[in-house]
Structure 1
C-alpha cells in the first residue's frame, strides 16, 4: 500500500494525527505511543468537524500545565527512555533532530543549546510520536506528498512578531516544494514541517494508484479561503510494466567525485539504466544531465535515491516507449575459464547481437595474466560460434 498527502492547506502535528485516525488508524495506536513517553500524562481525543462542508477528524492533545522548557538533549533522553518500537523511536528522534538544527540555525546557536519552548512542549512530543507510530502501523511502501502551503503575513511567537512563513519552517523545508497558498495566516507549523520533511519519500502529485481509503485531518482554524485539512489517500499502486519512465535532471553543483556512488545507488534502488551527459547551462556553467530509466513499480525508490544522493530539487518524468529484442543468457568456455554471454534474437529466432560480460573477461584476463583485449577477442569469437548456424545451442 502507498499513501499520498494533500498539503494544500499546510501541515501541523494535529492535522496529521487527524488524517491518520480518519484513514483508519486506531486512536489507541497513537495513544499507546504517546503514553510510552516518561512525561506528564497526555491524552488524545477526537472530534468530528466540517471544513467547508467536508467531514474531517480533529485530534485534540490534552496536556497538563507545565513550565518545562526542554533542550534537544532532554528530548533525546525522553525518547531514549520511552517504551517504543525501535523504528518509531528512531524516526521520532530524526524529526526532533531536524527541529533542533533548524531552530539552531535560525537563532544562530548550536543545536544542543536550543530550548524548544512550544516546539518541545508536551503537545509537540505527542504530535511527533503519534504521527510516526500511526504511519508505522499503516506499513506504507512509500509516502508521496504535494507541495506544502505555508501561508503568509505575520504571527506572534515567544520572541515577538515573526513573518509567515516562519524562518524555522523555511529552514526545515529547504529544497522541498512549497508555496504560500491563499490563506494569510500560518498554515505550516515547525512540527508539521519537520514531520513531512522526515517522513515523506517522494514529492509530487498523487501517484498512479487505486484509492482504498481517504482520511482528512482538520486544523483548528476554518478560513474562508479553503478547507483547512490535510488529506491522506491510501491505496494500491497501479503498475504498467510495459511503460518505463525516464527521469531527468540538470545538476551543476555536485562534486563530480560523487557520481560513481550516485549511479551505484540508483541501480541498487531498482533503476534499469542510468547515465550522465555533459552539458553547458546558463551563464556558461558546466553541468551534467542525469538520466535514469526505471519501471513504474520501482519509480518511487529510484526518485528517492536521486533526491537523497544528489543536490537536485526536481525531476522531469517522461513515460517512454521501448522496443526490446528477445534475449537469452548463457556462457562459453574460453582459455580454460567461463565467460557469460547475452544473445539477442529477432522474432524468427535469428541471432543479431551477441555480447560477452566484461566483468568475466576482466577477471579471466587477470587470472591468466593476459591482456584483456585477447580474452575479449577469444570470448566474442566463441560466443558467435556458439549461435552460428550449424554450431548448435
Structure 2
C-alpha cells in the first residue's frame, strides 16, 4: 500500500505542499498539467533554495497584477475548475478544498458560503496552489495519506479584512477535529489554504506510519524562521503491522444451546469481529462451551454487557491479542449473468488468496440449477493469482 506522509514541523501552506510533493513526481509532467488550468494570467516558477542549510524546492505563482481578480465567489471558482482540461479526480479534490475554505470563511463572517468573497484565497496564486496540489496527489496516487499534528503559532497578520490574530480565524475553523500543538514561532505558519488542503486530503493524523520510505521531499516556505521553514513529505510502502484487538471469553455449561444463535446476532450487530464456540470439559467434568469474542478496544464494554445479560455466565476474561492481516479488497466476477463478489488477500503486494462470497455463489446455483461446486470452480478460473 502506497502511503504519503506530511511532516508539518514548520506548519503548512499551499506553495509548501506543492514544492514538497514535486520531489516525488516528474516536474515536466506536472508543468504540462498546470497549463490546463483555465486561467490565462499566470505562470509558475520552480527552483531550489536552502533553509537552515537544507536544500529544498520552492514553488511560486507569477501573475500580471492588472488581471488579478480579488473578488471571486465560490461560483467563479467552480467555473474555473470545471472549465480546466483536467482529470475529474483533480477537479473533485480542488472543488472540495475550496468548499471547505468557503464554509470556514462564511462561519467567521456570518454569511453563506456562496456569499464569501475569496480575497487572498481567491487570488490567482491560491487557485493554482489548490489545483496544483490536487494534480500532484493524482500523479502520486497514494492509497493512504497521513499527517503529523499541526503546530499553531501566535502573533498577528495583516489581511484585506484588517489585522487578524494568528492563526487566522478561518484557519482555526478548518482545524476543528485536527490535532494541534503550541509553537513558539511568532509568524503565521499554517495558512487557510494549507489547512484546507490538509483537511481534505488526510485520512489520519499521527506519527510516521510503519513504512519503507521510497522518496523524501522538502518544500520551502517564503519566510525565514528560526527553525527550518520546510514541509517534509515521505512517499513509500506501508509496512503492515499487526492490529491490537481485545478477546473476551467465558466458559458456559448451564445454558440452553438454542440461545447461542440470538447471542451471535447481538454480538455481531454491536461490533464483534469474530465469535466462535469451542467444546470443552469443565472443572466438574461436565461438557461445556468456551465462548470467544474478538473486537476493537472501544467495543469491549458493550459486548461484555451483552454476554452478561444474554448468557448464564458470572465472569468474562478479557485480554489483548495481536492479529496479523493480509491487505484485502473485493472484485466482481460475472458468472451466468450474475455478479459474484470475490475477496482477495495480498502479501507484500502479491495476490495470494481469493475466495468467492458463499452467499453469491449459492444464489447463482439456485438461479441456474448448476452445482455450487461447479460455480465455485468457474469463478476461480477467472481469477489470476499466484500462491
TM-score normalised to the size of structure 2?
0.64
- Give the superposed CA RMSD: 3.1
CA 1:201 to 1:67, structure 2 compared with 1: closer, same or farther past 3 Å? same
CA 1:82 to 1:159, structure 2 compared with 1: closer, same or farther past 3 Å? same
Q: Find the aligned partners of 1:85 and 1:27 in 2 and give their Cα distance.
A: 18
Q: Find the aligned partners of 1:207 and 1:186 in 2 and give their Cα distance.
A: 27
Equivalence map 1:79-228=2 (5 Å): 79-224=81-226, 226-228=227-229
| SS of the residue 2:25 aligns to | coil
The answer on whether the counterparts of 2:218 and 2:230 sit within 8 Å (CA) in structure 1 is yes
Query: How many residue pairs end up in the alignment?
Result: 272
Deviation per CA, 1:262-308, whole angstroms, max 9, x where unpaired? 959x99xxxx84462458xxxxxxxxxxx998756669xxxxxxxxx
Select which of 286, 299, 305 maps to 1:276. Answer: 299
Structure 2 partner of 1:346: none
Deviation of 1:53 after TM superposition, in Å, equals 1.1
CA 1:159 to 1:171, structure 2 compared with 1: closer, same or farther past 3 Å? same
Task: Give ranges in structure 1 of 5+ residues lacking alignment.
Answer: 248-259, 280-290, 300-328, 330-339, 341-356, 361-393
Q: Find the aligned partners of 1:130 and 1:148 in 2 and give their Cα distance.
A: 21
Deviation of 1:246 after TM superposition, in Å, equals 4.0
Equivalence map 1:218-367=2 (5 Å): 218-224=220-226, 226-240=227-241, 243-246=242-245, 273-274=295-296, 276-278=299-301, 295=324
Structure 2 partner of 1:31: 31
The answer on whether the counterparts of 1:34 and 1:42 sit within 8 Å (CA) in structure 2 is no
Deviation per CA, 1:229-262, whole angstroms, max 9, x where unpaired? 000011111124xx32349xxxxxxxxxxxx999
Q: Find the aligned partners of 1:278 and 1:262 in 2 and give their Cα distance.
A: 10
Deviation of 1:8 after TM superposition, in Å, equals 1.0
Task: Give ranges in structure 2 of 5+ residues lacking alignment.
Answer: 247-267, 275-293, 303-319, 329-354, 363-387
| SS of the residue 2:102 aligns to | helix
Q: Find the aligned partners of 1:38 and 1:182 in 2 and give their Cα distance.
A: 40
CA 1:239 to 1:41, structure 2 compared with 1: closer, same or farther past 3 Å? same
The answer on whether the counterparts of 1:19 and 1:217 sit within 8 Å (CA) in structure 2 is yes
CA 1:134 to 1:263, structure 2 compared with 1: closer, same or farther past 3 Å? farther
The answer on whether the counterparts of 1:245 and 1:295 sit within 8 Å (CA) in structure 2 is no
Deviation of 1:195 after TM superposition, in Å, equals 0.2
CA 1:234 to 1:221, structure 2 compared with 1: closer, same or farther past 3 Å? same
Structure 2 partner of 1:20: 21
Deviation of 1:27 after TM superposition, in Å, equals 2.6
Indicate yes or no: 2:89 matched with 1:77: no
| SS of the residue 1:87 aligns to | helix
Q: Find the aligned partners of 1:134 and 1:184 in 2 and give their Cα distance.
A: 30
Q: Find the aligned partners of 2:92 and 2:110 in 1 and give their Cα distance.
A: 26
Deviation per CA, 1:342-393, whole angstroms, max 9, x where unpaired? xxxxxxxxxxxxxxx9xx9xxxxxxxxxxxxxxxxxxxxxxxxxxxxxxxxx
Q: Find the aligned partners of 2:176 and 2:63 in 1 and give their Cα distance.
A: 31
TM-score normalised to the size of structure 1?
0.63
The runs of at least 4 aligned residues of structure 1 exceeding 4 Å deviation read: 260-264, 272-275, 291-299
Deviation per CA, 1:161-207, whole angstroms, max 9, x where unpaired? 10001110011110101123121110011100000000011110000
CA 1:263 to 1:160, structure 2 compared with 1: closer, same or farther past 3 Å? farther
CA 1:158 to 1:238, structure 2 compared with 1: closer, same or farther past 3 Å? same
Q: Find the aligned partners of 1:67 and 1:200 in 2 and give their Cα distance.
A: 31
| SS of the residue 1:62 aligns to | strand
